[in-house]
């Protein structure tokens, strides 16, 4: 399914990728810049390992969240109450310092005539998280995709994240969590529906272990 590109879709216009060899050469340059010798025994294979790790950490650029939601189920016996998947661990990297963002996502939607397998909700979170991100954008991307593809009565997404660009550098404040939310449809318009969702996911706490 193709949907109009929004301001939050950053992966579709990516430039041509360098080769594996070029990526490894860049890592060698960073190792030298850090003050170490990329040719010493302990670092000899590090450029290749880092390049392969980047393939995993940023695999979201090769994934289509819309397609993950393509298969839905209509045989739900008239179920029209809230569907919530909470405490979805996500691992991302901030686009400003390329430092990890580790946290939990809570996703809910109010179906109209169809539902999607719950694993697909987690996959959508991962598809966007495995890209360079800011948390506000990540939250909106997840919510907008669920709303546009599933056409539910409403979508609610809350993210809690610890940003290592803040906890391991700069102000050095570990244990601080950032909370962002996007509410669409009835979750935005109906305070009772929004409160029910927030009650189900519980108060945001720092729980990323």
**Residues annotated catalytic, as ranges:** 94-97, 135, 163, 165
Structure tokens that stand for 2 in this block:
């193709």
Sorted by sequence, the CB contacts under 8 Å of residue 140 that are 6+ apart come out as 8, 182
Give, in order, the Cα–Cα distances in Å from 105 to each of 10, 86, 188.
20, 6, 18
Give, in order, the Cα–Cα distances in Å from 21 to each of 31, 62, 131.
15, 20, 21
Helix (H) or strand (E) holding 200: helix 191-201
Sorted by sequence, the CB contacts under 8 Å of residue 82 that are 6+ apart come out as 108, 109, 110, 193, 196, 197, 200
Sorted by sequence, the CB contacts under 8 Å of residue 65 that are 6+ apart come out as 123, 124, 127, 128, 141, 145, 149
Q: Which of 87, 179, 101 is nearest to 136 (CA)?
A: 179
């Amino acid at each position: 399914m193709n949907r109009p590109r929004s301001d939050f879709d950053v992966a579709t216009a990516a430039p041509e990728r360098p080769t594996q060899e070029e990526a490894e050469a860049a890592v060698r340059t960073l190792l030298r810049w850090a003050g170490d010798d990329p040719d010493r025994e302990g670092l000899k294979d590090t450029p290749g390992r880092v390049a392969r790790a980047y393939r995993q950490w940023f695999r979201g650029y090769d994934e289509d969240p819309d397609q993950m939601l393509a298969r839905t189920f209509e045989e739900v016996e008239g179920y029209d109450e809230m569907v919530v998947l909470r405490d979805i661990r996500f691992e991302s990297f901030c686009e400003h310092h390329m430092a990890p963002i580790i946290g939990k996502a809570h996703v809910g939607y109010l179906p109209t005539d169809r539902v999607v397998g719950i694993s697909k909700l987690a996959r959508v979170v991962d598809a966007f998280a495995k890209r360079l991100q800011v948390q506000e954008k990540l939250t909106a991307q997840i919510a907008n995709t669920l709303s546009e593809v599933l056409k539910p009565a409403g979508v609610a997404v809350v993210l809690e994240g610890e940003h290592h660009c803040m906890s391991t550098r700069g102000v050095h404040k570990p244990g601080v969590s950032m909370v962002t939310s996007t509410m669409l449809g009835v979750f935005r318009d109906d305070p009772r529906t929004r409160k029910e969702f927030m009650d189900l996911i519980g108060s945001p706490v720092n729980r990323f272990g």
